[in-house]
Amino acid sequence: MDKSRPLWDNHFQFIFACISYAVGLGNVWRFPYLCQMHGGGGFLIPYLIMLIVEGVPLLFLELAVGQIMHQGSIGTWNAISPYLCGVGIASVVVSFFLSMYYNVINGWAFWYLFHSFQDPLPWASCPLNINHTNYEEECEKATPTQYFWYRKTLNISPSIEESGSIQWEQAACLILAWLVVYLCILRGTEYTGKVVYVTAILPYIVLIIYLIRVLTLHGATNGLRYMFTPKLEQLANPKTWINAATQIFFSLGLGFGSLIAFASYNEPNNNCERHAIIISLINSATSIFASIVTFSIYGFKATFNYESCINKVILLLTNVFDLKEDLLTTENLENMKQYLASVHPGKYAEVLPQIKNCSLEIELDTVSLPSFFSRKNMMKSFVDVKKFGQYLEYEIADLLRMGDLV
């Protein structure tokens, strides 16, 4: 044991450090996405099984090894066997690349934070065109949020062959993100031990605020019903189990060497078994809690899209068949469609291609992938001849952001 190695001031600092490390985009972003893809609440069954089978044991192993060896990942694996030193080096390299792209996300967070002080928000509505006669065509065909992301935040180039110039504002946000990280780890556990109180507790405060707000949204209950209605047939899908196992690794941060480093600042007689169970349970509970918030938003968006679709169909049928204004309603729409099809078969056949099939279930199934459709419209306004290549860039980038290729 390296007696000169600093220690955490107390057990709470260590637990908060592990929670700050484990709880992140994997809980708030990737887990709800996988729930939606694999049967809603049914995904919890393989997820919890994998948590018990692989998550807790491997987490306990990493904490125990780091605590006994009192060294980082490279030193720990080298002490176990010199032949395993490469495992430690590989984990450091992976952690380096992880830090590189995670800090880019932190830079984006600062970018949106600074822009959020504007009124109205820049992503709330489409900007005017150069002539100030109308809104930007790209933005109208997509959405204001998509336009702000691709045109203002990323300022994405027309094709992969054109890298574009440095976006200095985003570069400044990235430098700020790295500066904050540097200040947090400048004095080791002396500073980090204090910072983790904020980084561990603040996300839960934000999630609670979000929860209170989203539960008041129209249609939020539809999303929650969708989440907690399990589709048990997904349990026969091997990919469901593979994604559940992957999510455990991704969410707990196993194999990156960071947990070994955190545990190396503990006393050798620390009860790491109890801490492994506590951290695993808090991490999984956070995923479920964040999913409640996320699926409430899904329900709101899906309900809005569904009701908008219904209203468009009602307006179309009212105008085409010259019906009274309040004759068609959501409740009698299907019966009226059958009536119109039988009374005016020829006219109904002409208008049938314009009648959309409105389904709340379909909206809930696809609500987490809105960018596919909005970008498809956005692509139509691009004048670059390499539209298809750029479209693929967008799709691959979005899959990466959603975690499907992680």
Is 22 flagged in the annotation as binding?
yes
Nearest to 260 by CA among 18, 24, 93: 18
Q: From the CA atom positions of the chain, what is the Rg in Å?
A: 26
Is 200 flagged in the annotation as binding?
no
Is 116 flagged in the annotation as binding?
no
CA-CA distance, 46 to 50, in Å (whole number)? 6
Is 251 flagged in the annotation as binding?
yes
CA-CA distance, 96 to 401, in Å (whole number)? 18
Six-digit token string for 221: 């209950």
Is 129 flagged in the annotation as binding?
no
Could you list the residues known to form a binding site for Na(+), using ranges: 22-23, 27, 251, 283
Provide the annotated binding site: 22-23, 27, 251, 283
